[in-house]
Structures are given as C-alpha cells and as structure tokens.
C-alpha cells in the first residue's frame, strides 16, 4: 500500500468518525477491509478502475469467502471511492456499476417463549451473582438492547418508577426503552447486591458490575448468558439471540414494526422488517384464527405471554 493510498483511508475513516460517529471497533473493521482491498490493487486507489474492483471481488469469491463477507467488503470499497469523488481526489467512482453478490437474509434465531422462561429461571435467587445475572437477563430480554448498550448503562440512566432506561446506541444516539414489570422487579432486587459488590471502593456508576465491583464487560455479559443457557439445556444462545427473541416475540404478539424499530434502535425500518418473517407455526396459528375460510372458528389469540403472570 502506497503512502497516498494509506492517507486516503485515514482521511475517509476520520470523516466517518466525525460525520457518522462510528465506534472504534467499526472503524477498525473498515480499515481491515480497505487495507485488504488496497493490497490487492496494482495502482493508486484514485486510479482504480471498474475492472480492478471486479477482479478484487472475483479473488474474494475464489478464496471461498461468504457472500455476506464479500458484500460487506464491497460496501467499504464503495464508501471509500464515493468519498474520494466527493472530496475531488478522484474523477470517477469505479464501483458505480459494480454489482455485488446477493446477500441472503436468514431468519434471526429466536428462542421460544418457553425457552426464554427456562433461561430466566436459571440464576440462583439466593446467590448475589445469581441475582445480578437474573437482572441482566431480564433487562436484555425486556428491552432488546445490544449487549454493549446494556453494559454501558449507568445507574442514573434507569428510572424504575417510570420503568424506563435511557440507552446510548450506535453513533451515540440515545433512545428510551421500556423495562416491564419483571425487569423492574429483578433490578430492584439486584440494587442492594450491587452496593455489596461496590463495597468500600469507589462506585464506577455502571448498573451492571462484576464480582469485583467493576463494570461488567461485554465478554462478561456474554459469559453470563452462555452459562445460564447451558444450565437451561439450550445451545447457541448469546445476548444477540435474546435481542432477536425479544423483537420476534413482540412482532408475533402484534407490535407494529415502527415500535420495534424504535425499541431496537435500528436506523432503518428495512433492518426491522426481517422480523415480519415469522415462523411457519405462528403463521398457521394466525391463519386458522383469522381467516374466515380456514375451517376453524375464529378466536382471539394472544401469543407470547406468560400464563397467570403480569406482562413484561
């Protein structure tokens, strides 16, 4: 990579950081993808042609990379070339007519309501860290927040009287999320435990703390979810699966997409629309209860609620 091309990447990433407020981890991923692209070019980036871009994509396919990975790398390359044109550093955008691979959009994995119940029931209610774990799990499922948003939550961001929390998401954008009665109760029970975890040390201010009274990390939260999923007899469960589950259960329960979009902090409604592709079993249930020619007597169905318990 030449110094000029390296400078172009630096300027582009600096613009992304300022204009879009991207997280350092996201910027680092952009840098890796763009460095890979520039290493494959036999010329300065400002001199790249459409053939160069197509040849790069072909090499990626030959390396056996997934279509989603190739599409992501192409998106980074497009962004760089558009930036160069806008800044007057290049005359043309060689990616303008280049079509990337079709990205498949699999259904997000979601637990069933019964599986969520088992997961939430896993922490030991008599163990201080079990009480913390229950509060974390209830919060993740109630709000559908990203794990990074949950562990970054300050104590002052939570209003238990109003059953809300102020979450800071991607691009430093803030949104208000609802907690629900189960999450409120779990957090109320956790707060005295939190004081014990802080002990005589200075309070770090974060809501969720580790056993040493320091802020719980993303990795720590991931381990909490995995540990209790294993105890509940579940596999391949992560904080993101809980996020998918919360969104899927809300849509299947009748929530409109705009509400779910706001809850999840999606910038575009198109990202949220994947949750409209509900399970075949739910589709059959809705058809039987709603269609006048289904052969069943229409009844009111309210899926995804706990029997004999208040709503979240």
Q: Which residue has the tokens 């790249």?
A: 48
Q: Is 240 tagged catalytic?
A: yes
Alpha helices in 20-91 (DSSP H): 24-40, 50-62, 67-86
Distance, in Å, from the CA atom of 127 to the CA atom of 270, rounded to the nearest integer, reads: 42
Distance, in Å, from the CA atom of 223 to the CA atom of 47, rounded to the nearest integer, reads: 47
Q: Which of 146, 206, 244, 312 is flagged as catalytic?
A: 146
Q: Is 170 tagged catalytic?
A: yes
Q: Which residue has the tokens 């930036």?
A: 83
Q: Which of 194, 243, 244, 312 is flagged as catalytic?
A: 243
Q: Which of 37, 56, 141, 275 is flagged as catalytic?
A: 275
Distance, in Å, from the CA atom of 253 to the CA atom of 302, rounded to the nearest integer, reads: 6
Q: Is 228 tagged catalytic?
A: no
Q: Which of 72, 214, 240, 288 is flagged as catalytic?
A: 240
Q: Which of 82, 170, 214, 218 is flagged as catalytic?
A: 170
Residue 123: partners with Cβ closer than 8 Å, 6 or more residues away: 130, 131, 133, 134, 137, 228
Distance, in Å, from the CA atom of 95 to the CA atom of 29, rounded to the nearest integer, reads: 20
Q: Is 243 tagged catalytic?
A: yes
The residues annotated as belonging to the active site are: 146, 170, 240, 243, 266, 275
């Amino acid at each position: 990579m030449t110094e000029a091309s390296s400078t172009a990447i630096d300027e582009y990433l600096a613009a992304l950081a300022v204009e879009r407020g991207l997280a350092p981890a996201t910027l680092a991923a952009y840098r890796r993808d763009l460095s890979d692209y520039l290493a494959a070019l036999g010329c300065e980036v400002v001199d790249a042609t459409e053939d160069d871009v197509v040849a790069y994509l072909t090499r990626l396919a030959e390396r056996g990379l997934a279509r989603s990975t190739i599409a992501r790398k192409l998106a980074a390359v497009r962004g760089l070339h558009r930036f160069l044109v806008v800044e007057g550093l290049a005359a043309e955008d060689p990616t303008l007519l280049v079509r990337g691979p079709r990205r498949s959009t699999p259904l997000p994995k979601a637990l069933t309501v019964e599986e969520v119940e088992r997961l939430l029931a896993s922490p030991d209610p008599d163990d201080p860290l079990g009480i913390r774990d229950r509060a974390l799990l209830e919060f993740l499922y109630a709000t559908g927040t990203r794990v990074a948003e949950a562990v970054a939550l300050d104590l002052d961001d939570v209003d238990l009287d109003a059953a809300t929390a102020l979450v800071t998401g991607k691009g430093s954008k803030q949104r208000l999320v609802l907690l629900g009665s189960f999450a409120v109760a779990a957090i109320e029970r956790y707060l005295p435990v939190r004081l014990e975890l802080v002990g005589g040390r200075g309070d770090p201010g974060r809501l969720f703390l580790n056993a040493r009274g320091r802020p719980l990390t993303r990795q720590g939260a991931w381990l909490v979810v995995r540990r209790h999923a294993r105890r509940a007899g579940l596999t391949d469960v992560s904080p993101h699966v809980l996020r998918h589950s919360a969104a899927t259960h809300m849509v299947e329960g009748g929530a409109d997409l705009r509400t779910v979009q706001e809850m999840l902090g999606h910038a575009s409604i198109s990202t949220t629309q994947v949750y409209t592709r509900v399970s075949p079993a739910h589709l059959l249930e809705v058809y039987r209860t709603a269609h006048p020619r289904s052969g069943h007597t229409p009844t009111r169905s309210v899926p995804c609620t706990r029997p004999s318990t208040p709503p979240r």
